[in-house]
Structures are given as structure tokens and as C-alpha cells.
Chain A
């Protein structure tokens, strides 16, 4: 599903963030990405989501090269964002609307779904993630775990075949971590690709089909 061919990325100041990465992420598998801080995990996720672009090498999604030029085409960008869901490390910045239900509906309206379909999906994911009592609340007044659940609902409602999660257990208490771990395990389906960046060994042992270790030299091991 996702192919990286000799992918490298340099920051504007010339420092490398990713060095010559070649890898093939297949649908139906859960990949856990681990490694020291600053090794380039978040940069890789930005590239996979079309927010940054490789300095060298290529990134192919379902065989199609994703480049900066192509991402300027709104239709192409929309198609990529429908296929890849991204849960950011800091969910606080990911939630920006006035209520939880509006947050879930945001992406669905952008997909051009009908009002009926939007309502149906909002109700489904509110119920699935146990957000019934929070539906009218402003997302930024929620607790860390509730924010994480809201972000998950907002992304999952768009039903992307690939889901990327950056440190999903970050800032959660023990119960919250267990809930998210169980939930991610439940997300594994034969046609869904999951890529999860985490330092948590328990999470890796519970969900990973393959574990990738990123080194300080910004490569995969």
C-alpha cells in the first residue's frame, strides 16, 4: 500500500531527518515504529500525510508517486487524505471545532457526504467511542483521554484504509492507555494498514505485526 524508495529528508538548515529509507507497508498489517526522540518518526508521518515532502527518493501510495506538485492539486490531496487518517501526537491542536459532534462531522462534510450519511456516521462513532455525554462539549475542555477518543472518532468516521498514529498513549493515565491499546487492537482488519509510533513496549507487544526501529542515524533497522 505504501512504498518508500530511498526516501531522505533534510530540514531547511541542512540537518537530516530521514536517511535513505526503503520500506513497504502492506495493508492488513500493524506496524509499530519505535526509536529515540528526534530520530524522524514524526517527520516520516508528515511525509506520509503529504504535509512535508522528501528531499530525495520517492513515496508511493497504492503505486502512485506522492509529490509536492501533485499535492497542489486539490483533488489529489483530498484523495490522499481520505486514504490516510492521521492522529497527531498532540491531539489538542487537532481538535478545532465548537463541539465533539461537529469535530466528527468536519471531515465527513469535506468528503462531500450527504447530511443523512454524516448524521449516521457521527452517531455511529459517538456511540462506538462512548462520547454520548460529551457530544455538545467543546473539545478543548475535555480531558486528555476524551480528546484522544474524539480525535480517533473524527478520523475513523472518515473510514480511511490507512491509519497513522503518533504516540497514541501520550499523556494518558493507565486506564486510558489500556482503553486505547484495546481499541487499536480492535482496529486491525485484513484491509486496514496501521502505523503506530510508540515508545511503549506493552503496546508494541499487544498490537504489532512488525516492529521497526528507527536509529539516531534516521534510518530503519
Chain B
């Protein structure tokens, strides 16, 4: 439990201080997210493998601009879903439809790679920022931001409690007694974390009230639409046109 917690915490904290060391220019998060979702949708709808291969090729080129360590990380995370899909779709080969296996696997590879690349280039602040740019109410994005913040804060608390418990645990119980003790410990940690979360939520709301919060939230950060965003936006009509062309060519 504590290892999982530490890993999750590490990921969230890392994402907050993530530096963009990609050689490609930074794209407006809302635009990036829109293109990713559109490509996933078009890949899923496409009956022409050329379109999916085209998107996959474009994503691989984008991947090549990342530093080697991050490329290895992306490919490592991509391998599991791809292998899993291959395994699931393997019976279709024996049933005389080998193309089905290839098509589905390619679509999965393409979708997962799109998401992994977006994850590499955007942190959670970018994602909530993207929601904001897409005119999703500020209160929704603020709630998302605060949820992430509380996850980290409560994760730290739970981690500290688990460490304190490990310092006082000598593993002398065996069998059922040991299991029962473990469940009770986990229950205690979760219960305390829940109570603290309640208290922190109340205090945060009070802090907001003290600064005049009346239910309306306005964002300070303004995203400017740059030339790189304009170029990137061209991908939307291009992807749609390529999709229509590929379907018509069938």
C-alpha cells in the first residue's frame, strides 16, 4: 500500500514540476487536448488502415523529438497494452481473420501513444487549464485542481502515518491475527485520512470565504494563441480531410 502511495505521489509531484525538454514548441493545452481526442476518435472510426498508420507515423515522429530517456519511458508503458491487445486478439488469427488482430492492435497502439505523448508534454495543470480555455466553468476546473492538491496532501499524511506505523511494527503476529492487524491498521489510516480531509476541506472553504469567495471563480492565467498554435490547429482540418479521403478510397 505504501509503495503504491509513494509511486502515485511521486508521479503527481513530478508532473507539477515537469520541465518541457521536448525539442518541439509548446502548444496551447486546449488545442493539444482537442487534437488528441479527435485523433483517437477518428482512429476508432476509421475502417482504413492507411489512416491509422499515418497517425501512428506522425506520433512516432513527434516521439522522436523527446529525450532518449523519456522515449524509453513512453515505449515501456506502451508495450503492455499493445501486448495485451495482441494476446486478446490472437484467436482471430486462428479463426481466419488475421487483419482484425492487426487493425485492432494498431488502433490501440495509436490511441495509447497519443495519450502517452500528451501526458509527457502536459502536466495536470495544463489539463485543467485546457478545460478552462474550452470555456468549462472555472468552478469545475478549480474543483479538479483542489482535488489533485488534496490527493497529494492527504497522500503525504497517509504516507507519514504508514511510516510511523512501520516504526512500531515488529511483525511478530502470524496467520489470521497478522491479517486482522493489517486490516485494522489500513482502516485506521484511511479513517484518519478521511477525518483530516474533512477538516482541511472546511478550513480551505473558510479561507476562500475570508477572501470574499461568493461562488464565482475567475482565472488569472490567460493563454495566448501563438503562431505554433495556429500551425498545430491546421492538424484538425487535415486529420478530418485525411480521414474522409481514406474512407472514400475504400
Contacts and interface: CB of A to CB of B under 8 A. Distances in A.
B212 A81 contact: yes
Contacts of B129: 98
Given A97-B142, A110-B214, A118 B209 contact: no
Interface string B64-98: 00000000000000000000000000000000000
Contacts of A90: 203
Contacts of B152: 140
A23 interface: no
Given A111-B212, A138-B125, A96 B149 contact: yes
B236 interface: no
A101 B209 CA distance: 19
Contact of B211 (A101, A106, A141): A106
A96 B207 contact: yes
A137 B13 CA distance: 11
B17 interface: yes
Contacts of A122: 220
A154 B212 CA distance: 12
Contacts of B145: 96-98
B209 A88 contact: no
B219 interface: yes
A118 B220 contact: yes
A99 interface: yes
A140 to B, nearest CB: 5
Contacts, number: 89
B208 A96 contact: yes
Nearest to B128: A98
B208 to A, nearest CB: 7
A140 B209 contact: no
Q: For the complex, would chain B's binding face be called helix, strand, loop or mixed by DSSP majority? A: helix
Contact of B204 (A84, A93, A110, A138): A93
Interface in B172-213: 200, 203-204, 206-213
Contacts of A140: 149, 152-153
Contacts of B13: 141
Size class of the A contact interface (CB-based, 8 Å):
35 or more
Nearest to A82: B212
Given A51-B206, A94-B204, A118-B220, A99 B212 contact: no
Contacts of A96: 142, 145-146, 149, 204, 207-208
B214 A74 contact: yes
Interface in A85-117: 85-86, 88, 90, 92-94, 96-99, 101-102, 104-107, 109-111
A93 B203 contact: yes
B3 interface: no
Contacts of A106: 208, 211, 213, 217, 220
A158 interface: yes
Given A88-B203, A101-B220, A140-B153, 17 more contacts: A49-B206, A77-B212, A81-B209, A85-B210, A92-B200, A93-B207, A94-B203, A96-B149, A98-B125, A106-B211, A106-B213, A109-B217, A109-B218, A110-B212, A110-B214, A155-B211, A158-B211
Interface of A: 46, 49, 51, 74, 77-78, 81-82, 84-86, 88, 90, 92-94, 96-99, 101-102, 104-107, 109-111, 118, 122, 137-138, 140-141, 154-155, 158
14 contacts: A85-B210, A90-B203, A92-B200, A93-B207, A96-B145, A109-B218, A109-B220, A110-B213, A110-B216, A118-B220, A137-B16, A141-B13, A141-B17, A154-B211
Interface of B: 13, 16-17, 125, 128-129, 142, 145-146, 149, 152-153, 200, 203-204, 206-214, 216-221
8 A-B pairs with least C-beta separation: A110-B212, A105-B220, A107-B211, A93-B203, A94-B207, A109-B218, A102-B220, A86-B210
